[in-house]
Amino acid sequence: MDTESLRIETPRLILRPTRWEDFEAWAAFLADEEATRFLGGVQSRPLAWRTMMCMAGAWHLRRPAMFSVIEKSTGRWVGRLGPWTPDGWPGTEVGWGIVRECWGRGYATEGAAATIDWAFDNLGWTDVIHTISPLNLASQGVARKLGSRNRGPGKLPPPLENEPVDVWGQTREEWRQRARA
């Protein structure tokens, strides 16, 4: 998989692997207390650097990792979303995190739908999950729009083992059946 040319386009977004040019916006996103409330909390700039390097490294060592979300109309970085399967994770996840000033625009749903298609078609996934805090009503709404259902409580690996999450998801067959409907 050529990460330099990998690009998914939606009507309003460009999804591509993380690049160094994303760092300033990435660090600002991870410094926003409200935006990171359900993503493990605020990260200092040095920790945001490590987190971004982890995501970029995952693209090169393991493939795949979350995509950077670029707003077509402005060319700016507005979040990260996509496939995420760290060691000990409860399944093949498509997750999302969008900068607060872009909440309510449908970017998470639009990008996640394109990424789910890509994961089923290119990664051979047969199931997709979203690990969501029971308090995160906005992400639950995104999951519902994607056609996922709450499968019940889940457990994340350390250092997130004490964070309550529900595992939302659907099978590839359910996803494709919904697309045909």
Q: What is the reported pLDDT for 60?
A: 87
Predicted local confidence at residue 2, as pLDDT:
76
Report the chain's C-alpha Rg in angstroms.
15
DSSP 106-161: SHHHHHHHHHHHHIIIII--SEEEEEE-TT-HHHHHHHHHTT-EEEEEE-PPTTST
List the one residue out of 72, 93, 74 whose CA is nearest residue 82. 93
| Residue 79 near residue 107 (C-beta atoms within 8 A) | yes
> For residue 178, what pLDDT is reported?
86
> What pLDDT sits at residue 119?
97
Which positions of the chain have pLDDT values less than 70? Answer: 1
Q: What is the pLDDT of residue 142?
A: 98
114: tokens are 């394109």
pTM above 0.85, yes or no: yes
Question: If you search the block for the tokens 């990435």, which residue do you land on?
Answer: 26
H or E segment at 54? helix 45-61
Q: For the chain, list the domains and their CATH numbers.
A: 8-180 (3.40.630.30)
Please tell me the predicted confidence (pLDDT) of residue 1: 66
Report the alpha-carbon angle 89-92-94, nearest 5: 105
